[in-house]
Amino acid sequence: MLAIENLTKSYNRGALALKDISFCIEPHTFTAILGPSGAGKTTLLRCILQLVKLDGGRVWFQGQDLTNCSAKDLRNSRTQIATVAQQFNLVRRRSALENCLGGRLQELPLWRCFLGVFPISLLNEAMAALERVQLLDVAFQRADRLSGGQQQRVAIARALTQRARLILADEPIASLDPETAHIVLGLLRSLCTQEGLTIVCNLHQVELAKQYSDRILGIQAGELVLDMPTHQLSSSDINRIYRS
Ligand SMILES: Nc1ncnc2c1ncn2[C@@H]1O[C@H](COP(=O)(O)OP(=O)(O)OP(=O)(O)O)[C@@H](O)[C@H]1O
Ligand SMILES: [Mg+2]
């Protein structure tokens, strides 16, 4: 699904934020990325999406080299990658349903986007996605009137409407209470197990990473210091990620 090859990134020619990182992500898996604050987790997701310029290395997504492809191919690949961010990243004044439809705007003619006239099949798909995350009852409510947990679930429904194959989640539970955090991670886990999506999720909570992921990557000061199946993770491995 995803292959990262010797990825190196610095900001403003300063210290390296990511140093020679390589790993592969198998399809239909849930990978948790752990690491202290400032380790480079968000930068890694930005590099995968090509939102920042890499200093070196390659990012392969479903066989396509995103670091060396046309703008059109990059756009096409990005339609299959959805993001769920730490800060709820919905259009605040739009309804849950409209936010889901936003995941497919680029395939519609401009007039439909301007007038907000969507094909019935797409509306059905977006409603089904909201039903999947159990938010059908708030489909027509403005995003900024939803709770944090509901907003994250709308972001997941948007990813489903987008028909993404890969979800990159950057601390999706950072602003949520423990119970809601379980609901959101459980939902991501079930999309992986039941719908075959691939999840890569930055997390700060080791226990939750152990509970929900198949595999753990550990980043420390821009270096990949750990890459192993979750069930093999020991406390000394955790120490390796978080040692100062
Ligand atoms: N836009 C930027 N300009 C300059 N430096 C940046 C920028 N974004 C991140 N950095 C630096 O890159 C390094 C990695 O930051 P990054 O945000 O990727 O860490 P992180 O692991 O996501 O941290 P956190 O857990 O706090 O979210 C840090 O040293 C940070 O200061
Ligand atoms: Mg971050």
Alpha-carbon span 90 to 36, nearest angstrom: 27
List all residues 6 or more positions away from 89 whose beta carbon is below 8 Å from its beta carbon: 83, 155
Write the pLDDT tens digit of every residue in 95-112: 999 999 988 877 877 787
Query: Which pLDDT belongs to residue 111?
Result: 81
∠38-42-46 over CA atoms, to 5°? 140
In this structure, are residues 95 and 141 in contact, taking their beta carbons and an 8 Å threshold?
Answer: yes
- Please indicate, yes or no, whether the overall pTM of this predicted structure exceeds 0.85: yes
Residue 219, amino acid: I
* Per-residue pLDDT reduced to its tens digit, 37-78: 999 999 999 999 999 999 999 999 999 999 999 999 999 999
CA 37–ligand 1 middle distance (angstroms): 8
Give me the tens of pLDDT residue by residue for the chain, a chain 244 residues long: 999 999 999 998 788 999 999 999 999 999 999 999 999 999 999 999 999 999 999 999 999 999 999 999 999 999 999 999 887 789 999 999 999 998 887 787 778 777 777 889 999 999 999 999 999 999 999 999 999 999 999 999 999 999 999 999 999 999 889 999 999 999 999 999 999 999 999 999 999 999 999 999 999 999 999 999 999 999 999 998 998 6
Query: Which residue has the least CA distance to atom 2 on ligand 1?
Result: 11
User: Hey, what domains does the chain have and what are their CATH numbers?
Assistant: 1-80+199-244 (3.40.50.300)
Q: Locate the ligand 1 atom nearest the alpha carbon of residue 171 and give its number.
A: 27
Ligand 1 contacts CB of residue 39 (under 6 A): yes
Q: Does the beta carbon of 10 sit less than 6 angstroms from any atom of ligand 1?
A: no
Atom of ligand 1 nearest to the CA of 219: 21
Position 202 scores a pLDDT of 97
**Alpha carbon of 43 to ligand 2 centroid (Å):** 7
Count CB neighbours of 35 within 10 A: 24
43 lines ligand 1 (CB under 6 A): yes
Q: Is 112 in contact with 85 (CB distance < 8 Å)?
A: no
> Does the Cβ of 11 fall within 6 Å of ligand 1?
yes
